[in-house]
Amino acid sequence: MKSKETTGSICVVPSIKVAGVHCGLKEKGKDLGLIFSETPTISAAVFTQNAIKAAPVIYDMRLMKKIPDIRAVIVNSGNANACNSNGFDAIDDVVNTLSKKLNIEKDQIFVASTGIIGEDLPSEKITTAIDELVYRLGSNKCDDFSEAILTTDTFTKQMALNCSFYGEEFNIGGVAKGAGMIHPNMATMLAFITTDINISHDMLDRALREAVDKSFNRISVDGDTSTNDTVFIMSTCQAKNEKITTENEIYRFFADQLIHICTHLAKMIVKDGEGATKTAEVVVVGAFSKKDAQLVARSVANSLLVKTAIFGEDPNWGRIVDAIGYSNAYFSVDRLKVFIGDELVYAYSKKVDFDKEKLKNYMKNDEIRILIDLGLGVYTYNMWFSDLSYDYVKINAEYHT
Amino acid sequence: MKSKETTGSICVVPSIKVAGVHCGLKEKGKDLGLIFSETPTISAAVFTQNAIKAAPVIYDMRLMKKIPDIRAVIVNSGNANACNSNGFDAIDDVVNTLSKKLNIEKDQIFVASTGIIGEDLPSEKITTAIDELVYRLGSNKCDDFSEAILTTDTFTKQMALNCSFYGEEFNIGGVAKGAGMIHPNMATMLAFITTDINISHDMLDRALREAVDKSFNRISVDGDTSTNDTVFIMSTCQAKNEKITTENEIYRFFADQLIHICTHLAKMIVKDGEGATKTAEVVVVGAFSKKDAQLVARSVANSLLVKTAIFGEDPNWGRIVDAIGYSNAYFSVDRLKVFIGDELVYAYSKKVDFDKEKLKNYMKNDEIRILIDLGLGVYTYNMWFSDLSYDYVKINAEYHT
């Protein structure tokens, strides 16, 4: 059992081809991406929990109910295709044109959009570019696809693993975009994962849900969730392993590798959070229930005062304790301990006399860890979050509709 | 029935004397305030809902259970007396010294603190200053008291009303501090209200709770609630009205005036929010339940993306709709309407073709109003909030423990 990081992102899976082009939805840069599988696939997806959903999310949710053989995933940036007047018509245009071009069924196409909300999607820009997009599948450039899905992101987010389970080889690749509005329950965040492991639809779906719960759902940049968030996985099932249909050992191994990729992509999203200068992790242990552990982690990860303190490199444990206090979690100050890095800073309702200089130096790191021990039970939860800088305000105040 | 705004803040009530001095808890400026009633009072208080409470909050909560005759309120800024090792000892020191000096019982003294969390309170600085503090009651300067309770506030917050109910005169005065960490359920926020209306303890308590619910609990600057929040009211009961013991007409009149003062103070706190350049009000109507109206208002008022859009003067209705979407409130996009100012910007799941220039000009105002009509029921809720500017980040990143 081993897994090894490699290059190639989602193209690490044989028979998966990708492309990315500029179709004019963004002023410059690639803004239209395509993933194409030359062989049949099974797939699963997790969508935004925002009650207001973009047209592509509603479209895909309906599509995925049929357990389709998805052969193409088309993604545009620059326009979210949400809260506008031509959402489904635009999708129909795109899907019609692409299905003819690729000679596949319309319901073999998965769609996703990210960008501005409330503007009609000029689908003719996409349909006009489809010839070139499909042509470019030949050169199969993962970087082009990764770039085409970005909005305010400053770098592409990709990862690939070659895995071996007692000699049975399989691959997993992933690509994501995030930057703004990142929050538990997923924000303007798209991720596409490919694999060739031989697995049933149900088990693939289960593995994806577990991985999303442990990764993308545990990140926070600014507390808002968007209308478009989607995590999609497709498998060609062409690896030589016996088909996974239960939670056996190879399933566990696969699921852990998937968690590894999703966690890596999620942390890259936090790192690229709008205006982020540092990333932080809050780890809650000793909670009486999972719910309590979550409440504490979310309260701390979403506290603007904690975020600005981390930006200011100040070990402000008072703001952490305050955020625990209003988390609505069950806890007792008489059992509560807080660590920043390895330093105990608060224990049993009182500040601890810690080494201030040491902690000040620790706060200069790019990654800060806060450990909270509620001292009550066995449940744990962790979250990754970014700091809050001047640039966050700049990016979001200057972004105009 | 009329009420008229006047000067004098909490000193508008005869026999209430106040003072404020510098005792050295802050580097400069007044940091210790005193309210003294020459005659007996009844009083009521509402405290922070943060599970971690500062020593003075725990002390006062115990005190108020006995329905005490509070004669003095002593407040310091510069140190929150929270999460430290000498909290109650420090209070004992202060209360012992002050009770001797004023010749009152120890349990006739209400205490409050605001400032940094986690540092021991150097109570000798306070006790040493008590002679001067009490001496200054003679000059009775409301501005001194109002200044002494400030932390990162940039201006004092005061209001007074002379009220007349069919010829029966009474007064209400209020003073508050806020600035950072302002959020529903009250943040590092202190408010002290005086009146001379003749009222029972129970009815005074009821009026205060209603007023706090409609004012201080409806403001949001950054989503954090603090360990020290307190709203206190005392009445000398010396007005000539027949004692209020039920919800009669004069009770309603008094309660409405109290709401008026509390709302005014709460809005001043938002206006003085750390780094605030504008204030905004979100009004939710047509909700199926009060809970749904609250959920929507809070989600919008706490959205960093909405706050930065208001700072950037951008009528970004998409961010408002997004925040409604993840509010967890019961609503339907097919009945939802959103107005910015008087302009309908979103209706029935689609953007409305509004006058962009007009709305751009509207966004330049100091006060922005967002109206959300859920179109489902009769419940309403409103909240006031500030925008999010570079200065918020600056103030909170540069504030060091």
Interval A11-35: pLDDT, tens: 999 999 999 999 999 999 999 999 9
Angle at B366 between CA B362 and CA B370, to 5 degrees: 60
Of A49, A118, A399, the CB nearest to B317: A118
Of B180, B303, B349, the CB nearest to A224: B303
- Residues with pLDDT less than 50, chain B: 181-187
Predicted confidence at residue B105, as pLDDT, reads 97
Share of chain A above pLDDT 90, in %: 74
Predicted confidence at residue B318, as pLDDT, reads 87
Say what the alpha-carbon torsion angle B223, B327, B47, B263 is, to the nearest 10 degrees. 80
CA–CA min distance B220, chain A (Å): 12
User: Is residue A185 over pLDDT 70?
Assistant: no
Which residues have CB under 8 Å from B112's CB, separation 6+?
B56, B60, B73, B74, B75, B76, B149, B190, B228, B230, B232
Taking contacts as CB-CB distances below 8 angstroms, the residues of chain B near A390 are 390, 393-394
Helix axes A201-214, A249-271, angle to 10 degrees: 40
How far is the C-alpha of A117 from the C-alpha of A105, rounded, in Å?
A: 29
Predicted confidence at residue B180, as pLDDT, reads 61
Asked if A225 and B322 come within 8 Å (Cβ–Cβ), the reply is: yes
Predicted confidence at residue A173, as pLDDT, reads 98
Interface test with chain A among B119, B396, B398, B399, by most A beta carbons within 10 Å: B396
Interval A101-131: pLDDT, tens: 999 999 999 999 998 888 899 999 999 999 9
User: Is residue A401 over pLDDT 80?
Assistant: no
CA–CA min distance A306, chain B (Å): 9
CA–CA min distance B212, chain A (Å): 18
Share of chain B above pLDDT 90, in %: 74
Asked if B50 and A326 come within 8 Å (Cβ–Cβ), the reply is: yes
Annotated active-site residue in B188, B230, B236, B263? B188
Of B226, B346, B394, the CB nearest to A322: B226
Asked if A401 and B315 come within 8 Å (Cβ–Cβ), the reply is: yes
Task: Tell me the two tokens of residue B322.
Answer: 């997004």
CA–CA min distance A2, chain B (Å): 40
**A190-195 and A230-235 as β-strands: parallel, antiparallel, unpaired?**
parallel
Q: What is the DSSP string of B100-121?
A: HHHT--GGGEEEEEEEESSS--
Which residues have CB under 8 Å from B14's CB, separation 6+?
B171, B196, B236, B238
Q: What is the DSSP string of A61-73?
A: HHHHTT-----EE
By the 8 A CB rule, do B174 and B211 touch? no
What ipTM was assigned to the predicted interfaces of this complex? 0.70
Predicted TM-score (pTM) of the model is: 0.81
Of B304, B351, B400, the CB nearest to A118: B351
Q: At residue A354, what is the residue type?
A: F
Predicted confidence at residue B226, as pLDDT, reads 75
Asked if B51 and A325 come within 8 Å (Cβ–Cβ), the reply is: yes
Interface test with chain B among A229, A299, A308, A360, by most B beta carbons within 10 Å: A308
Taking contacts as CB-CB distances below 8 angstroms, the residues of chain B near A368 are none
Say what the alpha-carbon torsion angle B344, B346, B351, B352 is, to the nearest 10 degrees. -20
Helix (H, G, I), strand (E, B) or coil at B7: coil
Interval B131-186: pLDDT, tens: 999 999 999 999 999 999 998 888 999 999 999 999 999 999 999 998 664 443 43
SS3 of A101-159: the string is HHCCCHHHEEEEEEEECCCCCCHHHHHHHHHHHHHHHHCCCHHHHHHHCCCCCCCCEEE
Classify the phi-psi angles of A285: left when phi > 0, otherwise alpha if psi is within -120 to 50, otherwise beta: beta
Interval A290-333: pLDDT, tens: 999 999 999 999 888 888 889 989 898 988 998 999 898 999 99
Closest chain A CA to residue B301: A224
Interval A378-400: pLDDT, tens: 999 999 998 888 776 776 666 65
Query: Which residue numbers of A are catalytic?
Result: 188
Interface test with chain A among B305, B317, B348, by most A beta carbons within 10 Å: B305
Interface test with chain A among B183, B220, B304, B372, by most A beta carbons within 10 Å: B304
Interval A194-230: pLDDT, tens: 999 999 999 999 999 999 999 998 887 555 567 888 9
Predicted confidence at residue B181, as pLDDT, reads 46
**B190-195 and B16-21 as β-strands: parallel, antiparallel, unpaired?**
unpaired
Say what the alpha-carbon torsion angle B371, B373, B374, B379 is, to the nearest 10 degrees. 90
Return mean pLDDT, chain A: 91
Predicted confidence at residue B183, as pLDDT, reads 44
How far is the C-alpha of B301 from the C-alpha of B219, rounded, in Å?
A: 8
Q: Does the active-site annotation cover B188? A: yes
Closest chain A CA to residue B313: A397
By the 8 A CB rule, do B346 and B337 touch? yes
Taking contacts as CB-CB distances below 8 angstroms, the residues of chain B near A85 are 350-351
Of A50, A315, A325, the CB nearest to B227: A325
Predicted confidence at residue B184, as pLDDT, reads 38
CA–CA min distance B303, chain A (Å): 7
Interval A124-181: pLDDT, tens: 999 999 999 999 999 999 999 999 999 888 899 999 999 999 999 999 999 999 866 4
Of A83, A312, A394, the CB nearest to B397: A312
Number of H helices, E strands in chain B: 11, 17
Q: What is the DSSP string of A338-369?
A: EEETTEEEEETTEE----HHHHHHHTTSSEEE
By the 8 A CB rule, do A288 and B186 touch? no
Predicted confidence at residue B185, as pLDDT, reads 42
Query: With the C-alpha atoms ordered A89, A95, A97, A99, is the resulting torsion angle positive or negative?
Result: negative
Asked if A52 and B223 come within 8 Å (Cβ–Cβ), the reply is: no
